[in-house]
Chains A and B, each alone.
Chain A
Amino acid sequence: MDYQAVLAFLSASFGKELVDYIVKFMPKQAVCSVSPLGNLYVVFLGQTDRTILIDAHMDEVHLLVTGVDEDGFVHVDRCGGVDTRILPGCAVTLWGQKPLYGIFCNMPPHLKNGNQDEVLPCNQMGIDIGLTKEQADLLVQPGDTVTFRHQITTLQQGRIAAKSMDNRAGIAALLRLSQLLTMDRLPPVTVVLQFSVLEETSGRFAGAVTGGFYHQPTEALVVDASFDQYPASSYATPGALGKGAMIGFSPILSNRISNRLRQIAQEQQLPFTEEVLGGRTGTNADGLCSVAAGIPTGLISYPIRNMHTPVEVVDPVDLETVAQLLFAYVMEGGVTQ
């Protein structure tokens, strides 16, 4: 799969356009449907009805318009954990009556009055769209979506930096998985790919858990972004770009699933690291594991840099590893026989 081309498209699109792209990518035998909250489900029938659910969230952190001030500057608030440190001088797209270019105001240094390292809260910043209030009011209204402007930066070793790699890179891995699933025999279990909404914003993982309830899988795997080691940070993580999938280990996850994933990776010589946490993972796994009577859940992550900024860096090598690991796991039928 041409990861760079796929990631470029995934990065740029959201909402209906994104759903349509995924549906179009899926093979004919996959059955697609959309849930009342907007999850996209893609079902690959297997040799049995027993279901493994593979979840990747489809939403991205972004901003929402709260209003336009007298001078035509647009004000916003956050929808999900946008990193506000990068907002000054950040280029955005306002999805109003038509897409509008905007730039977050940044204060000239001589006006900062010694508070050089201060970061304004998001709702105190303004976006410059180059219009008067009267002109802006015709095109922009409260509730309109604002995303980072779509720009791809190509780095060495096939890596790219782009907006929304959390979790479009995970979606790319699932698109790759869909190719692998139809190459050979039917999987022993029914596989549901769940592209869920409301991960970044819903404290209760409303998208993922409602899908878990609906499909009643015997086990679930979640694919999401995690942290690459950053040199200036005291946070130690084994995750590193190019070192493969990050297999999650945590008391809230299923040890059987985590161990089996690790064994498969070792047997198939897929590059991996272990991401070990003492409790909650900060992903949809936290919700899925306690849906209804409970679902044994695993977590496979891929490392990214600069999470929740317009320059999230991913390595396609890691995404291919995630796809291969998922494929090997489901073709065995999982651990909950």
Chain B
Amino acid sequence: MKPMLTLLEELTNAFGPSGNEEAVRSLILSYIQDYARCEVDALGNIIAYKTGKKRPQKHLMLDAHMDEVGMIVTSILPNGMLRFAPIGGITTEALIGKRVTFGEMEGVIGCVPIHLLPADEKNKLPAYDKLLIDIGADSEQQAARWVQPGAVCTFKNEFLTFGEHRIQAKALDDRAGCAILIDMIRRKQPYDMTFTFTVREEVGLLGAKTAAFQVAPDAALVLETTTAADIAGVAAQQQVCALGKGTVISFMDHATLYDSHYYHHAFEVAARHAIPCQAKRAVAGGNNAGAIHASRGGIPTLALSLPCRYLHSAACVIDEDDLQATAELAQTLACSICAGELDSGHNGC
């Protein structure tokens, strides 16, 4: 059994901004292809059909997205620096003064030195379009040797553990979800289940939409990360969720109003198995559940998330205990749904 942390380190180090998930896909296939029947569809989603001991009452789809946020080069300036657009939502703060990687090549996102700014600009972040990637070229012709418009990069960062069982890495959103699903596929499962590792979540939930259409499940579980704002300077009631307090179960976000039977059932299952969990205390963010629940004739869907600080930045932070809790809850809730313990309370059509 590959230890979860090793898996997570390999996954987060892989290069995979939305639309460019090849490296992550190959890596995941290498982990799971001996344990499930795998297909790769037209957009690059992995659909993995896992045979369990029994046929389930409900066909369950478990989803995690392979892509990460990143940047795409829009043009090359005469001085050899690169203009870019974000892939997914990234703030100026998260970009300025950070390192990026194109896979092989590296760069940095710099800024006009603070010493040279007029007084009224010294305490403000630069406008987004003033951010440029420096790869060390001096002219457009020179830069064109190494990069073209359309080239894609992401944050450069190394995986490491720190403090009390905390993990920092890039792309924990959503390689953490991927790690949990990979771990489930590599184990014997009591029921048949379908696992999807989807593309292009960060640019409109596109992979999940098409995967759900193909899989046509009776129910879905999305494994994700969600914003934990339990950090310095944020009042308790604004924190959304907290590290170390267990899996986050959401009743609503900007993409989905979750089925309330599923929502409450998840807490019951967690309580039954003494798995720590917490409610997401804000309507914020969104994930693949948004696309999945509205697929075909409708699919009851729930999201289980790891609380994650500094989402969509170079250094996201999660807690090992929460990773463990979410893996356990995903397994037990999946079995519960497959066993038919849950009825969404709406008539089937």
Instruction: Name A's B-contacting residues (CB within 8 A).
Output: 69, 71, 73, 75, 81, 83-86, 88-91, 100-103, 105-111, 116-120, 124-132, 135, 151, 153-159, 161, 227, 229-233, 235, 240-242, 282, 305-311, 313
* CB–CB B163/A131 < 8 A: yes
Closest to A82 in B: B114
Stretch of B19-27, B91-99, B214-222, B337-345 at the chain-chain interface: B91-99
Complex: A246 Cα to B282 Cα, angstroms: 54
Chain B hits for A129, CB < 8 A = 162-163
User: Size band of the B side of the interface?
Assistant: 35 or more
* CB–CB B232/A311 < 8 A: no
Stretch of B126-134, B199-207, B257-265 at the chain-chain interface: B126-134
Across the A-B interface, give the 3 residue pairs with the lowest CB-CB distance, nearest first: A130-B163, A126-B232, A155-B136
Cβ < 8 Å to A, chain B residues 77-131: 77, 79, 81, 89, 91-94, 96-99, 105-116, 123-127, 130
Stretch of B5-13, B52-60, B267-275, B311-319 at the chain-chain interface: B311-319
* CB–CB B114/A308 < 8 A: yes
Chain B hits for A118, CB < 8 A = 123-125
Given A118-B124, A131-B164, A108 and B99 contact (CB-CB distance below 8 Å): no
Closest to B94 in A: A89
Given A227-B113, A306-B111, A307-B113, A132 and B96 contact (CB-CB distance below 8 Å): no
Chain B hits for A126, CB < 8 A = 231-233
* CB–CB A153/B108 < 8 A: yes
Complex: A103 Cα to B98 Cα, angstroms: 13
Chain B hits for A227, CB < 8 A = 113, 115-116
Partner pick for B110 among A84, A131, A282, A313, CB 8 A cutoff: A313
Complex: A242 Cα to B136 Cα, angstroms: 10
Chain B's nearest CB lies how many Å from the CB of A179?
26
A–B complex contacts, Cβ < 8 Å, 26 sampled: A85-B114, A90-B97, A100-B163, A101-B163, A105-B232, A105-B309, A106-B94, A108-B240, A124-B233, A125-B232, A126-B232, A128-B309, A128-B317, A130-B166, A130-B317, A153-B99, A153-B106, A153-B156, A155-B134, A227-B116, A230-B112, A231-B132, A232-B112, A232-B130, A232-B132, A313-B136
Closest to A135 in B: B164
* CB–CB B134/A107 < 8 A: no
Chain B hits for A151, CB < 8 A = 99
CB of B1 closer than 8 Å to a CB of A: no
Chain B hits for A240, CB < 8 A = 138
Cβ < 8 Å to A, chain B residues 129-157: 130, 132, 134-138, 142, 146, 156-157
